[in-house]
């Protein structure tokens, strides 16, 4: 059971910790709501991504009227530690059953069912929570985010975001304020979302305000960046500097660098000269995101892009010391061929425990949409540039497959997806180990024939349908209407039997809550209110399953997480409104009233009607 010294996060504390406000997006009506024992080895099971349709008849109906508190009758050795009753328990079990109550003991679910039956589990020391008709779901699982980076941009980067920053002039003004507070010679870093000029800032934009500071700012998605001339000089980047394999240095008509870099390998040429924070600072970065996700009902996460052996160690240390409220796992990123040797020889692949572990490895085969590696041209910057040479990539995938751990690959374009499937298939044929569950991340543009290959290979797609809200209008311009309609084809994947998981990819978009992800999955509206590929929309039942049971399957943890069933970890989210019956226009901002991890309340909104109390104090 979870240590009892975990601090409880109130909504007021959450609002204070949210300070930076990652949720701002100019002109968008969809934003993140800021108000609002031993573990068994998971068994190999069929993909749980698909929700039965139509949903089964509830096993019991939720009670909306107040009910009398249960009398404590269970003996101490058998009583529940926590009992939630008088609610709508959305189990996400194989039948999508609905119950009234859930009893918890020793950090795991003791029973789920009717109030009248489960009251027998209540003892004098049982903590009671009268749900008053509220919905309870499994704790949301975010299988692809960047936990430590959320803290990094909060503490170390200047936010250059809408609504304060809409134009290049706004960006310069905001950046000038930060430069004025920074000693000359020190680096200033920032991040931006978009500017009205429709292009990335260049050194010519940045130089007039930064003659004495090296400046590096990244687009929030993380795959483009801009530097001023002083930063270029420190890095030794000139017209004679060649583009690295898999990356691109933008150049003007005379061949001089503009200060803009595309893809991580090119960005590394610059950012390797930025002083790296020490381990204790990385530790502080890591802890920042914990209360934010807990307040949104998230109970487990996977940081899907962890660079550096020492950063992996920071995660594992935080998990070992139980400094994080959430369960977590990390994937070590291979950006360069030399990272393969580090992965195989410097990482302790068996380290960690059920609270925090190294789950496997991550590649990025292309960048964001403008650099999507595709079979056919698009209107972005480059369409024909994978970040890895194909044979080197296949060799690396084969070596990592043999470790027995999971591999995840970032794929924006259809050629990147197919290159990944080729590598997976070769590795699995050479070493047909059971149930590897390798993954494709994002899968923005894919071909129909690739979907069947995914299903045949058992490859999981972990995607973010809220990208359509952020970038769907641009997809039409970049890829053309026909290809854009096929962006993030969640319905096609489910119908073909492809395991599906949903995630936030925070902080690469303005939102980090699962409520926004769920709303994006069921609506598919772009920022201009065009429904892009409506035939690919999910039902709320399917979307919730993909963000719970599907995400647990993607993390190879479905034996312990993802549904509310006896024996599983007691990870729960108590909603302020029933997600199954909330209109999509409101779903994205529906607050969570309480979050429970292994039977311990780690977040509580302060709502007066949801106050836990001991059964002995409630007995009449």
Report the alpha-carbon distance of residue 250 to residue 252 in Å, rounded. 7
End residue of a domain, out of 210, 244, 271: 271
Provide the terminal-to-terminal Cα distance of the chain, rounded to the nearest Å.
30
The domain boundary, picked from 271, 287, 322, lies at 271
Contacts of 287 (CB under 8 A, 6+ apart): 151, 318, 323, 324
Q: Are 359 and 388 in contact (CB under 8 A)?
A: no
Residues 6+ apart with CB under 8 A from 190: 157, 158, 159, 160, 174, 175, 178, 215, 216, 217, 218
CATH number at residue 455: 3.20.20.140
Query: Which positions of the chain have pLDDT values less than 50?
Result: 1-46, 50-64
Peptide bond into 163 cis (omega under 30): yes
State residue 55 phi and psi, 5-degree precision. Answer: -55, 150
Q: Looking at the domain assignment, is residue 300 inside a domain? A: no
Report pLDDT for 66.
Answer: 54
pLDDT given at position 620: 53
Interior/surface letters 106-126, b for 16+ CB within 10 angstroms, e for the rest: ebbbbbbbbbeebbbbbbbeb
Q: What is the pLDDT of residue 417?
A: 98
pLDDT, tens digit, for every residue of 488-541?
999 999 999 999 999 999 999 999 999 999 999 999 999 999 999 999 999 999
Tell me how many domains the chain contains: 3
Residue 348, pLDDT score: 85
Residue 433 belongs to a domain: yes
169 and 52 in one domain?
Answer: no
What CATH number did the domain enclosing 42 receive? 2.30.40.10
Tell me: do 133 and 151 sit in the same domain: no
Q: Do 64 and 186 belong together in one domain?
A: no
**Residue 265 falls inside a structural domain:** yes
Is 295 contained in some domain?
no
Give the end of a domain, one of 271, 291, 326. Answer: 271
Residue 325 lies in a domain: yes
* Residue that is written with structure tokens 């964001």 in the block: 368
Same domain, 353 and 370: yes
Instruction: Mark whether 212 and 351 lie in a shared domain.
Output: no
Q: What is the pLDDT of residue 58?
A: 40
- Do the domain assignments include residue 3? no
Token pair for 23: 């949720």
- Give the bridge partners for 531, in sequence order: 525
Examine the domain organization and report whether 343 and 443 are in the same domain.
Answer: yes
Domain that holds residue 584: 9-141+565-618
Q: Which residues are bridge partners to 83 per DSSP? A: 103, 128
CATH code of residue 189: 3.10.310.70
**pLDDT reported for residue 67:** 72
- Looking at the whole model, is its pTM more than 0.85? yes
pLDDT given for residue 552 in this prediction:
98
Q: For residue 278, tell me if it sits in a domain.
A: no
Indicate if 133 and 154 belong to the same structural domain.
Answer: no
CA angle 94, 97, 101 (to 5 degrees): 130
Note whether residue 277 is domain-resident.
no
Task: Measure CA 338 to chain center.
Answer: 27
603 and 545 assigned to the same domain = no
| Same-domain pairing of 155 and 135 | no
Task: Examine the domain organization and report whether 125 and 162 are in the same domain.
Answer: no
> Within this chain, do residues 57 and 135 fall inside the same structural domain, yes or no?
yes
What is the 8-class DSSP label of residue 281? H
Q: What are phi and psi of 50, to 5 degrees?
A: -85, 130
Q: 387 and 449 in one domain?
A: yes
Q: Give the span between the Cα atoms of 105 and 82, in whole angstroms.
A: 7
The residues, ordered by sequence, that sit 6+ positions from 606 with a Cβ below 8 Å of its Cβ are 10, 11, 12
């Amino acid at each position: 059971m979870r240590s009892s010294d975990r601090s409880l996060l109130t909504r007021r504390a959450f609002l204070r910790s949210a300070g930076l406000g990652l949720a701002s997006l100019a002109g968008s009506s969809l934003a993140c709501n800021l108000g609002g024992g031993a573990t068994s080895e998971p068994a190999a099971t069929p993909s749980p991504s698909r929700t039965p349709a139509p949903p089964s008849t509830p096993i019991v109906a939720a009670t909306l009227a107040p009910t009398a508190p249960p009398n404590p009758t269970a003996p101490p050795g058998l009583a529940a530690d926590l009992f939630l009753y008088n609610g709508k328990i959305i189990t996400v079990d194989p039948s999508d059953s609905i119950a009234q109550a859930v009893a918890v003991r020793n950090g795991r679910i003791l029973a789920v069912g009717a109030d009248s039956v489960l009251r027998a589990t209540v003892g004098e020391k049982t903590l009671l929570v009268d749900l008053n008709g509220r919905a309870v779901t499994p704790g949301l699982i975010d299988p692809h985010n960047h936990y430590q980076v959320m803290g990094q941009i909060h503490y170390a980067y200047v936010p250059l975001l809408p609504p304060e920053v809409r134009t290049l002039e706004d960006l310069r003004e905001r950046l000038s304020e930060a430069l004025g507070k920074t000693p000359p010679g020190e680096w200033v870093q920032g991040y931006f979302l978009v500017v009205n000029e429709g292009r990335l800032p260049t050194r010519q934009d940045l130089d007039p305000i930064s003659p004495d500071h090296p400046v590096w700012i990244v687009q929030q998605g993380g795959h483009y960046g801009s530097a001023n001339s002083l930063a270029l000089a420190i890095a030794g980047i000139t017209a004679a500097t060649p583009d690295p394999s898999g990356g691109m240095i933008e150049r003007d008509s005379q061949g001089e660098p503009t200060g803009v870099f595309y893809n991580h390998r090119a960005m590394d040429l610059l950012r390797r000269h930025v002083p790296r924070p020490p381990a204790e600072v990385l530790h502080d970065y890591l802890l920042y995101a914990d209360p934010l996700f807990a307040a949104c009902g998230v109970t487990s996460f996977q940081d899907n892009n962890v660079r550096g052996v020492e950063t992996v160690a920071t995660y594992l240390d935080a998990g070992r010391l139980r400094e994080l409220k959430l369960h977590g796992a990390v994937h070590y990123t291979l950006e360069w061929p030399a990272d393969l040797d580090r992965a195989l020889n410097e990482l302790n692949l068996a380290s960690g425990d059920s609270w925090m572990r190294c789950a496997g490895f991550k590649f990025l085969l292309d960048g964001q949409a403008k650099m999507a590696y595709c079979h056919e041209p698009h209107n972005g910057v480059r369409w024909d540039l994978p970040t890895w040479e194909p044979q080197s990539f296949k060799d690396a995938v084969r070596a990592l497959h043999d470790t027995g751990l999971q591999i995840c690959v970032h794929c924006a374009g259809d050629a990147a997806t197919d290159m990944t499937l080729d590598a997976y298939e070769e590795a699995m044929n050479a070493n047909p180990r059971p149930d590897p569950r390798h993954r494709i991340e994002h899968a923005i543009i894919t071909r129909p024939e690739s979907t069947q290959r995914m299903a045949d290979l058992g490859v999981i797609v972990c995607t973010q349908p809220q990208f359509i809200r952020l970038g769907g209008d641009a997809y039409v311009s970049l890829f053309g209407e026909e290809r854009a309609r096929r962006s993030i084809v969640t319905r096609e994947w489910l119908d073909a039997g492809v395991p599906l998981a949903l995630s936030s990819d925070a902080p690469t978009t303005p939102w980090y809550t699962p409520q926004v992800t769920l709303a994006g999955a069921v609506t598919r509206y772009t920022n201009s209110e065009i429904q892009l590929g409506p035939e690919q929309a999910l039902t709320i039942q399917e979307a919730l399953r993909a963000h719970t049971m599907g995400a647990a399957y993607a993390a190879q943890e479905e034996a312990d997480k993802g549904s509310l069933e006896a024996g599983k970890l007691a990870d729960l989210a108590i909603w302020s409104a029933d997600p199954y019956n909330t209109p999509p226009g409101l779903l994205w901002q529906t607050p969570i009233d309480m979050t429970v991890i292994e039977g311990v309340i780690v977040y509580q909104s302060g709502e007066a009607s949801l106050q836990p109390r001991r059964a002995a104090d409630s007995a009449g």
